[in-house]
């Protein structure tokens, strides 16, 4: 498995926020955390990406503790992805002048460049129009296949989960 999450627990003050979450994600697999807003999907992503410390449990990527895996340096050839994601005509524009859809594509592009073996996406199509949503779905599928990346994503859209995910919680 490329990543494993072993029984994690997060306590904030006295309240238990996340309890006994365990799963594994294989190479080229899209693992989905499906559920309505405010059920803890983002908290789990923050624990996985080491942005939020868990109270107990372990998170590993390729056998490396998630806190240590942040130190792994990866390289992303700029031009290949810029053309692939069809944002090359915007490469010299200030980000503040770009449309929401282009900003969304760039955000996913930067995520892919920063973590080519493990991609973590929080509601990748939230708030974007249906045309861009389908484009993002295609990007995710293509990256998963061509880059042998595993993907963990959150969504509240059942259709999106069915379209993209190999495994759901």
Q: pLDDT digit string (tens) for 79-118?
A: 555 666 677 788 788 888 988 878 877 877 777 776 567 7
CB-CB contact of 95 with 103 (8 Å):
yes
**73, two tokens:** 């340096």
Q: Which long-range contacts (CB under 8 A, 24 or more apart) does 81-90 make?
A: 81/109, 81/112, 81/113, 82/109, 84/142, 85/109, 85/139
Architecture of domain 3-168: 3-Layer(aba) Sandwich (3.40)
Which of the pair, 60 or 36, is modelled with greater confidence? 36
Q: Model-level pTM?
A: 0.74
> Given pLDDT bands bounded at 50, 70 and 90, which one contains residue 76?
very low
Q: pLDDT digit string (tens) for 127-163?
A: 778 888 888 898 888 888 877 778 888 999 999 999 9
**130, two tokens:** 């249906």
- Checking if the pLDDT of 53 tops 70, the result is yes
Spatial strand order in the sheet of 15-25: 15-25, 3-12, 56-61, 64-65
Q: From the DSSP assignment, how many helices (H) and strands (E) are in the chain?
A: 6, 8
Please report where in the chains the tokens 């989905």 appear, as a residue.
32
Mean pLDDT, the chain, rounded, equals 77
pLDDT at 12: 65
How do the domains of the chain map onto residue ranges?
Answer: 3-168
Q: pLDDT digit string (tens) for 7-24?
A: 666 666 667 777 778 888
Alpha carbon of 85 to those of 69, 113, 117, 120, 136: distances in Å?
A: 27, 12, 18, 18, 9
H/E segment holding residue 141: helix 130-147
């Amino acid at each position: 498995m490329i990543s494993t999450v072993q029984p994690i627990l997060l306590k904030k003050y006295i309240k238990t926020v996340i309890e006994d979450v365990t799963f594994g994600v294989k190479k080229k697999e899209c693992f989905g955390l499906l559920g309505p807003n405010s059920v803890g999907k983002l908290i789990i992503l923050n624990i996985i990406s080491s942005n939020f410390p868990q109270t107990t449990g372990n998170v590993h990527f390729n056998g490396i503790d998630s806190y240590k895996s942040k130190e792994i340096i990866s390289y992303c050839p700029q031009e290949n992805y810029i053309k692939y994601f069809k944002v090359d005509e915007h490469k010299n524009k200030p980000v503040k002048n770009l449309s929401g859809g282009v900003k969304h594509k760039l955000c996913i592009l930067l995520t892919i460049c920063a973590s080519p073996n493990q991609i973590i996406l929080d509601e990748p199509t939230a708030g974007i129009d249906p045309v861009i949503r389908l484009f993002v779905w295609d990007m995710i599928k293509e990256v998963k296949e061509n880059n042998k990346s595993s993907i963990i994503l959150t969504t509240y859209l059942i259709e999106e989960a069915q379209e993209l995910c190999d495994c759901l919680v």
